[in-house]
Structure 1
Amino acid sequence: MTTILVINSGSSSLKYSLIDIDDERELASGLVERIGQDVSAITHTVRPDAGGEAVVAMLDASYESERAVADHDAAFVVMLEQFAEHGPALAEHPPAAVGHRVVHGGARFYAPTLVTPGVEEQIEELAVLAPLHNPANLAGIRAARAVFSDVPHVAVFDTAFHQTLPPAAYTYAIDAELAAAHRVRRYGFHGTSHQFVSEAAAAFLGRDLGTLRQLVFHLGNGASVTAIEGGRSVETSMGLTPLEGLVMGTRSGDLDPAALVHLSRRAGYSIDDLDALLNTRSGLQGLAGRSDMRDILAGRDAGDPASTLAFDVYIHRLRAYAGAYIAQLGGVDVISFTAGVGENAAVVRAEALATLGFAGIEVDHGRNVERRRGIRRISTDASAVAVLVVPTDEELEIARQTSRML
């Protein structure tokens, strides 16, 4: 058995997964939340046949606890304790490598990359383009390299899948010299998820990935859509940062940039004020005072006008992007929905595609509202376009890319 440890380090969290890459199955996973606060929440889950109590029960065995976890170094100590106490024992399943999620790789990183001190420096330099993400990713890398010093560490970048964007798609129409000097262009994000879902969709349909025109909607608290032709990203909604594009939980998505000039001049908003507004007080949160789609749908069902408007704005943007990307592709063969909202909100899927019958898209109501695990088709048998729900597995994709790189 060859195992890969996958690390997704956030500003106040550490998410980890131990994967048997030979069989592509997860042995265990965990999450340390609220790092640096008075009390941190810890969850460790062991999968069936991975060892420990899960073997006996033949069900996932989940263990929850709380304690103070000061920083990411301390979080890694907690992770090791969870493996030692609840299994599977890392001594019996030692990681052959550690794969790390890194949000922003700029134009420099277009493939899984072996982490060296020089690579760490470049990730740190790119923090100017992702100040909420790259520093946290780097903290996880450094803590992991201190603990697992005898195995290779591989960085897998969210932006890498979108390095195939053509210049017409990634270029912003501003002063070219200024843009080049400050690296202002579209990079795209959620690339690991978009790649995993597009490949899984092709395999599920028994189709050659290289022949398919696909749209993948990654709809979670962060949301993006990517047009994929022949397995290559050719257009995506997020841009220089993860702020552009679709309406999200707390992020605005597309906005007339002159609105920011207006707010600066008329409301006295500083750069930091505008940054906080667009990233934390906009999107569904800004429109309805709640960022979770489940709360928006409950409010809409109860007749709340703000929730109804928020839902309508959200759907309007999805339809606009779907239509634009179908035009860019010259048609579409497969549309997939993934992530928390995409996998679970049937009404969002139905409404997003409700006006696209002209493109040969027919959603089957019964299939769409059915709730079951795994990849499934929700379009009618007569639909010219296959519409799928594809659970994403970014950890497995990171493990795959780490293994391939090695």
Structure 2
Amino acid sequence: MTETLAALHTVRVELGTRSYDIEIGAGLLDVAGRYIAPLVRQPRVFVLTDGTVGGFYAGQLEKSLAEADLQMRLKAVSPGEGSKSWAVLGEVLDWLLSEGAGRDDVLVALGGGIVGDLTGLAASLMKRGMTFVQIPTTLLAQVDSSVGGKTAVNAAQGKNLIGSFYQPALVLADTKLLSTLPERERLAGYAEIVKYALIDDPNFFDWLELNGKRVVDLDQDALAEAVAISCRAKARIVSQDERESGVRALLNLGHTFGHALEAANGFQSSLLHGEAVAAGMTLALHYSARQGLMQAEDAARAEALLEKAGLVTQLKRLPGGPYPSDALVEAMKQDKKGRAGRVPLILARGLGKAFIQPDADLADVGEFLQEELQRS
């Protein structure tokens, strides 16, 4: 069997009978079969990937599975947000059924957040639930979307509106896989790492100010540490609130603004999810400062951390624009918890002091966005 370094970190997501481990370290794909084999009842594994990721890593995964006496059955979807759709979900389910997959089979997501969300939702629907495993290949997926069981596809009305809560049985976060990730995708994932610091970990924020460049440059020690801290933060919150009825909403810091930006952009590749979140977090912090909730200097400090890494935070410089305030407000009205011109926002009383504002006034938010469009 191919040798590899042991996982540098193991993070446990405690959810009773649905608890699972996140293994984090370099070289895990080479021994993925060893980790997956205990979950398998038949000597086969179904794998969903996209054309790009499959070209890099499907062969490596197949070899690892074969070393565990498991056969791989592979389907690749087209790369990009267009595959996170009801139509492609149907194609995946048809494929699984035609291959004779059952509830006792394992479905593996080999890819980024799009593949992971699509795979998780397909697994939740397949004969009312089959086991699935996440092998996230982007930094964003390793620290966010592969953990916590939120699965979804997009609708014309907005992002992630068709979905379910369905936990994986295992997450293998091989940090070595990020070496093939374009810099832009790497930075998009870094935005989600910063999010955990801004929610409730000011010490992690200080650490990122010192070590952020090492993370985005893929220094393996710094990268594994940042991924592990992020996953522990998410695991802690998910364990308290699996179905987002309370504290888990904090994980949406920057996302209400970010999803509106993506919707206004038509979910095109000119604006990546992490890029939208970086701008969205900046907007949330500046709005908090405008409301007198936090110091403007702290909001500027967070913006500087994101900009130093190479992320764009200002609306008028954001790729894929323009982003008129009325279009953003209209998109925010689609928020799943919004009502009567008010939406929940995650705001902050300082760095690492995020909180849930349940009923932000969209008219006031619209005025704020107009101001932000003028900010230099």
Specify if TM > 0.5. Answer: no
TM-score for both structures, normalised by structure 2: 0.30
Q: Greater CA radius of gyration, 1 or 2?
A: 1
TM-score for both structures, normalised by structure 1: 0.28
Higher helix share: 2
